[in-house]
């Protein structure tokens, strides 16, 4: 099962600029229990079922809750669920919610809410769809209990219900769920923080305030599992698109936490008084990818896509970004991360920089010089990665139209099947280290931005999910990787860490690339 594949992982990490003052001076902070954080980007999509964006996942784990959650060893534990059982034939599961759970509007959490939430979430999630393919019915038994009935055993049940990968299977009140694919309009969860809608200033800030009625579990906190005890009054999520501005604010004490520190500021930040750098490596890393649009445009042709394997050198990309050697893996060929349970080099023989060969191969394809629309995020490390590839593509004979925008605009643009060809992005290792959760393999043949669909991958994903042991899963994962190198759902541009930073007044913060603002305390 998925949790066994993750059983060896630890908690995830997740030129000088002029000093720039920001809008929250130190002296203006009256309450020591108000924490100010700058995350990877602005939270623009507040519906956790609507996107795979990591920033929305971060928002979701604070405002919403899940039936089950994962600990640092990859083991799944009950979260909103109190007890559960399964029939001897594996065809029926029954779940009972913990007593006293409440929504942020004060209404009690009911089993019927969870049934409706699961059905809605599963429509847009690859693993959710896999679950629903085995389901004959999900129904509430009483106000605190619900039942899932299967047509065949589904051994991944708990792994799916407790998966930390976006879209998160977050629970919501049934009454706020809109029809079809519309996004929720009321942000009401049952998590440890409430979204303060009246304080939301798009482009500037969002505020999460402690939910006084939240009922933590009794177990000790462990990654996303266990007790989530909030010890601050509120968390203010500031929007600072410029990394230098945010790093300056962190040094000055104007913010308390910065999720992604700029690499060219690391030396200064490591030497700064009252600043701590959170630098986790190993499995606590990220994977960068160029995601291709298989639906329309030149990359609808597999032969055109395959040319890109000859145009990316991971070392060149990571050097251009300025990532120190201690924070990177050199030339990782594995779709499922290096130094990870499913690491493999199978199928990677064509993945080497060879521009002359790429030029010759491109001439043999259907490509006729059409512009490749390359979406990049202004000021991000992925923009630098994109610039390196765009330059190599031009040398090989591609016409490239680089378009720079913010991440929210990329999310909106990539949701359409036309108008773009490629974009660079990076994701947590926990998302990429299994075929079932890898964004660009697990979503094979799904309605997911890029729309890659390979019949051989679909067949092998099903076999992987049914595999009885880790040895067979590793073998099937290697076979899936061989097919992925042929189909090119994405091209990896590197494996690396992204250090976070926080002020010394922040105590007991979870050392993870998933920002988690429960448990921590603040000095005055």
**Is residue 376 over pLDDT 70?**
yes
**Is residue 10 over pLDDT 70?**
no
Phi, psi for residue 130 in degrees, rounded to 5: -60, -40
**Is residue 12 over pLDDT 90?**
no
Beta strands in 87-144 (DSSP E): 92-97, 135-140
Q: Map residue 164 onto helix, strand or coil.
A: coil
Query: What is the token pair recorded at 234?
Result: 């509120």
Residue 489 lies in a domain: yes
Question: Averaged over 256-275, what is the pLDDT?
Answer: 96
Q: How far apart are the first and last CA of the chain?
A: 45
Structural domains counted in the chain: 1
pLDDT of amino acid 72: 86
pTM of the prediction? 0.85
Residue 281 lies in a domain: no
**Is residue 486 over pLDDT 90?**
yes
Could you tell me the CATH number of the domain that includes residue 375? Answer: 3.10.105.10
With CA atoms as reference, report the closest residue to 424 among 461, 396, 393, 384.
Answer: 384
pLDDT of amino acid 282: 67
Measured CA to CA, the distance from residue 362 to residue 276 in angstroms comes to 48
**Is residue 340 over pLDDT 50?**
yes
Give residue 466's domain range: 286-496
pLDDT tens per residue, range 282-312:
667 999 999 999 999 999 999 999 999 999 9
pLDDT band at 5 (very low <50, low <70, confident <90, very high): very low
Query: What is the token pair recorded at 475?
Result: 């073998």
- How many CA atoms within 13 Å lie on the side-chain side of 445? 13
10 Å CB burial of residue 103 (0-12, 13-18, 19+) is buried
Residue 364 lies in a domain: yes
Question: Averaged over 164-192, what is the pLDDT?
Answer: 96
Phi, psi for residue 500 in degrees, rounded to 5: -105, 165
pLDDT of amino acid 467: 87
**Is residue 27 over pLDDT 90?**
no
pLDDT band at 466 (very low <50, low <70, confident <90, very high): confident
Residues above pLDDT 90, as percent of the chain: 87
Question: Averaged over 193-219, what is the pLDDT?
Answer: 97
Residues 6+ apart with CB under 8 A from 51: 45, 166, 167, 411
pLDDT tens per residue, range 380-398:
999 999 999 999 999 999 9
Measured CA to CA, the distance from residue 350 to residue 310 in angstroms comes to 7
**Is residue 19 over pLDDT 50?**
no
Q: Please state, rounded to an integer, the average pLDDT across all residues of the chain.
A: 92
pLDDT tens per residue, range 77-91:
999 999 999 999 999
Residue 449 lies in a domain: yes
With CA atoms as reference, report the closest residue to 45 among 67, 63, 68.
Answer: 63
**Is residue 22 over pLDDT 50?**
no
Structure-model confidence comparison of residues 158 and 281, the more confident one: 158
pLDDT tens per residue, range 427-442:
999 899 999 999 999 9
Measured CA to CA, the distance from residue 322 to residue 266 in angstroms comes to 11
**DSSP string over 64-93:** --BSEEE-TTS-EEESSEEEEEE-TTSSEE
**Is residue 21 over pLDDT 80?**
no
Question: Averaged over 109-123, what is the pLDDT?
Answer: 98
């Amino acid at each position: 099962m998925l949790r066994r594949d993750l059983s060896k992982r630890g908690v995830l990490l997740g030129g000088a600029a002029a000093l720039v003052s920001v809008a929250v001076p130190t002296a203006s902070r009256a309450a020591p229990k108000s924490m100010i954080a700058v995350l990877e980007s602005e939270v623009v999509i507040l519906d956790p079922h609507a996107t795979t964006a990591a920033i929305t996942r971060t928002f979701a784990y604070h405002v919403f809750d899940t039936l089950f959650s994962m600990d640092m060893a990859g083991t799944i534990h009950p979260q909103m669920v109190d007890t559960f059982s399964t029939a001897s034939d594996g065809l029926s599961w029954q779940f009972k919610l913990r007593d006293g759970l409440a929504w942020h509007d004060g209404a009690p959490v009911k089993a019927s809410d969870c049934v409706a939430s699961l059905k809605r979430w599963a429509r847009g999630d690859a693993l959710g769809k896999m679950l629903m393919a085995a389901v004959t019915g999900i129904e509430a038994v009483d106000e605190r209990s619900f039942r899932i009935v299967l047509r065949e055993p589904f051994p991944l049940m708990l792994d799916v219900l407790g998966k930390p990968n976006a879209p998160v299977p977050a629970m919501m009140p049934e009454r706020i769920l809109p029809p079809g694919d519309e996004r929720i309009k009321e942000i009401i969860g049952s998590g440890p923080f409430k979204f303060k809608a009246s304080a939301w200033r798009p482009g500037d800030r969002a505020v999460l305030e402690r939910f006084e009625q939240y009922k933590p579990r009794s177990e000790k906190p462990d990654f996303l599992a266990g007790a989530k005890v909030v010890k601050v009054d509120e968390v203010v999520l500031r929007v600072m698109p410029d990394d230098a501005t945010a790093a300056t604010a962190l040094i000055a004490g104007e913010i308390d936490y910065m999720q992604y520190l700029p690499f060219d500021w690391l030396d200064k930040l490591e030497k700064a008084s009252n600043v701590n750098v959170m630098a986790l490596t190993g499995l606590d890393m990220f994977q960068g990818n160029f995601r291709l649009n298989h639906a329309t445009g030149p990359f609808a042709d597999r032969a055109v896509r395959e040319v890109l394997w000859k145009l990316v050198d991971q070392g060149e990309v990571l050097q251009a970004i300025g990532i120190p050697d201690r924070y990177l893996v050199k030339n990782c060929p594995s779709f499922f991360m290096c130094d990870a349970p499913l690491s493999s080099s199978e199928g990677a023989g064509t993945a080497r920089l060879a521009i002359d060969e790429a030029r010759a191969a491109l001439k043999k394809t259907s490509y006729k010089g059409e512009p490749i629309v390359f979406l990049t995020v202004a000021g991000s490390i992925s923009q630098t990665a994109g610039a390196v590839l765009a330059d190599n593509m031009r040398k090989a004979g591609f016409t490239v139209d680089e378009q720079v925008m913010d991440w929210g605009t990329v999310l909106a643009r990539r949701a359409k099947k036309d108008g773009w060809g490629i974009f660079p992005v990076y994701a947590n290792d926990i998302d990429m280290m299994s075929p079932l959760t890898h964004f660009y393999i697990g979503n094979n043949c799904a309605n997911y931005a890029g729309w890659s669909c390979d019949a051989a991958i679909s067949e092998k994903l099903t076999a992987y999910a049914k595999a009885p042991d880790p040895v067979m899963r590793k073998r099937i994962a290697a076979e899936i990787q061989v097919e992925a190198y042929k189909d090119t759902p994405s091209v990896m541009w590197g494996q690396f860490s992204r250090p976070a930073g926080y002020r010394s007044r922040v105590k007991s913060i979870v050392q993870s690339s998933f920002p988690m603002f429960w448990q921590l305390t603040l000095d005055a």
